[in-house]
Structure 1
Amino acid sequence: MAQPLSASAVLTALRAEGVRVVEVGSWRTHNRNSKGPWGPVNGVMIHHTVTKGTDSTVRLCRDGHSTLPGPLCHGVIAKDGTVHLVGWGRANHAGLGDDDVLRAVTAESALPADNEANTDGNRHFYGFECENLGDGKDLWPAAQLEAIERVSAALCRAHGWGARSVIGHKEWQPGKIDPLGFTMASMRDRIADRLKEGKPVPAPPKPTKPSVSLSKLIAAAMKDPKAKGTPVSYAGVRTVETALVNAGLLAKARLDGHFGTDTVAAYARWQRSKAGGSYTGSAADGIPGSASLKRLGAKYGFTATS
């Protein structure tokens, strides 16, 4: 039992354990704390997403859906082992589970059968969703399994917990099957070995710049102004909007992943600026071009690709 780590502390812990981390938008303050307390935390819960595709999976886990608002976890563990942090605080991932299981996790004793749903798991667990179809056929790449091990070990190490503080959703809530495709017993063995062996903690990896596809960005810029609502049509839109906010060209309230009219206008201001290329006329129409996007990325920390 412990108070949750701060966003900065968990980022440090993950990177110290060698986890490749991507920070998604305003993840540090994205939570459901208005709906109930978060903490004390007692363990780490692992899920699978029943989705395919990293970008769409990250969007879903950050934003949720019509019947379950996001964030749906704290981090998404992609197939390549990258962990995308989407929220910090109370998250809609665990639901109601068995109080006997919670007591066993707290005591780090053998888990009983989960046959009750009477305890708020969103309060007591860190939650990580893993990109997998959850059909028992979708493979779990070695890099993804290692990332689950590293993430879990990082949190256990930070709190002084053992591997029995890590459980699967299926061990918490009756009727759940996730994660499917590997056993939690084998994963706890891996985590225990990492903690017990005192594996050398590697130096934090150099931060990797997010990548923004010009073609996908243009498609969003052409589509979004005509669309209703605020669809997040491409995750790279948030990266560009964040850069425009940092440049003082877009209001922070408009950082919504929707390349709508406000973002088009802000990007046009970037194109006309000296730093953006001093474009004029139709060359500064707010639709991203290769040169202006590369300039924006070089100044605000992302890589522009075709």
Structure 2
Amino acid sequence: MATPLTAATFLSKLRAEGVKVQEHGDWRTHNRNSKGAWGPVNGVMIHHTVTKGTEASVNICTDGYAGLPGPLCHGVIDKAGVVHLVGYGRTNHAGLGDDDVLAAVRDEKALPAANEANTDGNARFYGFECVNMGDGQDPWPAAQVEAIVRASAALLRAHDWNADGEGAISVIGHKEWQPGKVDPRGPGISMADVRKRVAERLKHEASWSPGTTVTYTVAKGDTLWSIAASKLGDGNRWREIAVLNKLADADAITPGQKLKLPKK
């Protein structure tokens, strides 16, 4: 449970995680705060738009439609992996969901099946709508799923949620929140895989990308500082090595030990 980030911090955290961002209009102040609470927040919720094309999806998520005013989320993630920011604050994305699910997200526990709609999710979750028809046939490109992973990890990292890098329970799908929902679905995405990948990201620095680590064998006289200086060009990056290898004591390395090093 946490106070929502400011819009400026939200934007900076996304960019630090390598998310491609496009800002739209007055997104920083476009919200439904006059209709109810925004926060405390507990996690990130992923949806599909049931629309085709980036422009149309951004427009409907910005403006809403008859019976459901916009904004309908904080960001629209297109198929190329760009996150289009359309609102900030309370948005009409989550609706009513299961209080037991909210408790599990808050406590970072295994998710129960959603069977009730009794709790306001618009106040409790950051929401991303992803461009997809939601028919179970429309594919989810790798770039789009990677953007989901990075955007989610950015917010978990900012709030220190799932700090142990295991489970990433703070990221859920709409279908896991509200009974009767099916999003997100389709070839190329599963929430279990998204959570697994978010959990892996949280073991690394925000600048990390999959496949960008190398292995180094510790030699006699090495320190994390000397390794960072010689292999990464900056001794101050020793902390990245410590985090990447989950070293509780940065001085406790021994000759012959294998260490993963981040990208130079």
Say yes or no: TM over 0.5.
Answer: yes
1:134 alignment partner in structure 2: 134
TM-score (structure 1 length as normaliser)? 0.65
Larger radius of gyration: 1
For 2:205 and 2:152, locate their aligned partners in 1 and report how far apart those are by CA, in whole Å.
Answer: 14
For structure 2, list consecutive stretches of 5 or more residues without a partner in the other structure.
163-167, 210-264
Contact 1:98 1:117 in 2 (8 A): yes
SS in 1 for 2:200: helix
For 2:206 and 2:60, locate their aligned partners in 1 and report how far apart those are by CA, in whole Å.
Answer: 34
SS in 1 for 2:126: strand
2:20 alignment partner in structure 1: 20
For 2:64 and 2:3, locate their aligned partners in 1 and report how far apart those are by CA, in whole Å.
Answer: 25
1:51 alignment partner in structure 2: 51
2:100 alignment partner in structure 1: 100
For structure 1, list consecutive stretches of 5 or more residues without a partner in the other structure.
203-306
1:174 alignment partner in structure 2: 179
Contact 2:18 2:206 in 1 (8 A): no
- 1:195 partner amino acid: L
For 1:201 and 1:71, locate their aligned partners in 2 and report how far apart those are by CA, in whole Å.
Answer: 31
Q: Deviations over 1:84-123 (max 9, x none)?
A: 0000000000000000000000000000010000000000
2:155 alignment partner in structure 1: 155
- 1:171 partner amino acid: E
For 2:125 and 2:27, locate their aligned partners in 1 and report how far apart those are by CA, in whole Å.
Answer: 17
What is the total number of aligned residue pairs between the two structures? 202
Identity of aligned residues (%): 71
For 1:106 and 1:66, locate their aligned partners in 2 and report how far apart those are by CA, in whole Å.
Answer: 33
- 2:170 partner amino acid: S
- 1:145 partner amino acid: V
For 1:107 and 1:186, locate their aligned partners in 2 and report how far apart those are by CA, in whole Å.
Answer: 20
The answer as to 2:185 corresponding to 1:183 is no
SS in 2 for 1:196: coil
Contact 2:201 2:208 in 1 (8 A): no
TM-score (structure 2 length as normaliser)? 0.75
- 2:160 partner amino acid: G
Higher relative helix content: 1
Q: Deviations over 1:164-222 (max 9, x none)?
A: 100000000000000002210111000001112346358xxxxxxxxxxxxxxxxxxxx
For 1:180 and 1:161, locate their aligned partners in 2 and report how far apart those are by CA, in whole Å.
Answer: 25
Cα 1:189–1:58 shift into 2, 3 Å: same
1:68 alignment partner in structure 2: 68
For 1:85 and 1:32, locate their aligned partners in 2 and report how far apart those are by CA, in whole Å.
Answer: 15
Contact 1:71 1:87 in 2 (8 A): yes
Contact 1:16 1:201 in 2 (8 A): no
- 2:185 partner amino acid: L
2:170 alignment partner in structure 1: 165
Matches within 5 A, 1:74-113: 74-113=74-113
